[in-house]
Amino acid sequence: MAALTKPCREIRKEILKTSFDAQAGHIPSAFSIIEILYVLYKDVLKGDDVFVLSKGHGCLALYAIFAEFGIITKEELATFIKYESILGGHPHRNKLKEIYASTGSLGHGLPICAGAALAIKLDNREDRVYCLVGDGECNEGTIWETAMLADRLGLNNLVCIVDNNKSQTRAMPSTNIGEKFKAFGWTVVEIADGHSISALQNALNTESDMPLCIVCDTIKGRGVSAMEDNMFAWHHGPPNADEYNQFCEELDA
């Protein structure tokens, strides 16, 4: 597993601070997707490309990335879930123009993205559509209905990124996700270390004449050992003051 880069360590600290101050938030679910979002917003998204965070409960990562790249200010990040804040507990498309779709009800983001990809094709545009889903979300039937439709419509401008953080191990595990997308006619790239910046950059540069699925093996809570080792206890909820200081020290080490 690659060491965390300095920017992504700092982003994790921003998420911890935001969650601690707000006393809310899904920290482990955010930590598993930081590198994916970092590469998307730093190297990939351009022009009128579309991005949808379908696993909306991981929105603290998206908001922290927005702050990192100047889409919002650090002061706006600090308003997370406060009254009249633009940053709710799930992304809200009417609060910030950079949020293409309101998400949180799992399984909705990919169908929306398929529609966006089809509209782009009908307009003869070159823009691409990226959707980030969770492994547990891949238990939703809408994911596979959309996978079938995307192949049928030849949506080679659609990219589904799977945050495979194994969060469903105590319920209904989502297994062989890459093979399933492949069976639906998609090009599939699997990344053994979904926190590797270089591996993500290479995968997101994949050219395909079919819809593309990138399965990223990640660790829920990556960067804070207490969360990595006990992800169910930390699925939702903020650290207390002692835990906050301890987690920040670990990220600084």
User: Cα separations (Å) of 100 from 29, 51, 54, 68?
Assistant: 20, 7, 11, 19
pLDDT exceeds cutoff 70 at 4: yes
Helix/strand/coil (H/E/C) assignment for every residue in 82-111: CCCCCCCCCCCCCCCCCCCCCCCCCCCHHH
The pLDDT tens digits for 56-67 are: 999 999 999 999
Tokens linked to 4 = 């965390």
Query: Is the pLDDT at 170 greater than 90, yes or no?
Result: no
Give the pLDDT confidence score for residue 236 in this predicted structure. 78
Mean pLDDT of 210-219: 97
Q: Which residues contact 158 (CB under 8 A, 6 or more apart)?
A: 113, 114, 117, 128, 129, 131, 150, 211, 212
Task: Kindly report the number of other CB atoms within 10 A of residue 229's CB atom.
Answer: 10
Model confidence at 169: pLDDT above 70: no
65 close to 11: Cβ distance less than 8 angstroms = yes
Q: What percent of the chain has pLDDT above 70?
A: 97
Q: Average of pLDDT values for 111-137? A: 97
Q: In what order do the strands lie in the sheet with 50-53?
A: 50-53, 129-134, 158-164, 212-217, 187-191
Q: According to the model, what pLDDT value does residue 96 have? A: 94
pTM value is 0.95
Cα separation, 113 vs 58, in Å, equals 18
> What is the rounded average pLDDT for all residues in the chain?
94
Sorted by where each starts, the structural domains of the chain and their CATH numbers stand as 6-252 (3.40.50.970)
Could you give the percent of the chain with pLDDT greater than 90?
88
Check pLDDT > 80 for residue 174: no
- Contact by Cβ (8 Å): 67, 73: yes
* Most confident residue range from 19-28, 206-215, 236-245: 206-215
| Confidence band of 233 (pLDDT split at 50, 70, 90) | confident
pLDDT given for residue 229 in this prediction: 67
- The rounded distance, in Å, linking the Cα atoms of 168 and 220 is 11
| CB contact at 8 A, 157 and 118 | no
Is pLDDT at 171 greater than 70 in this prediction? Answer: no
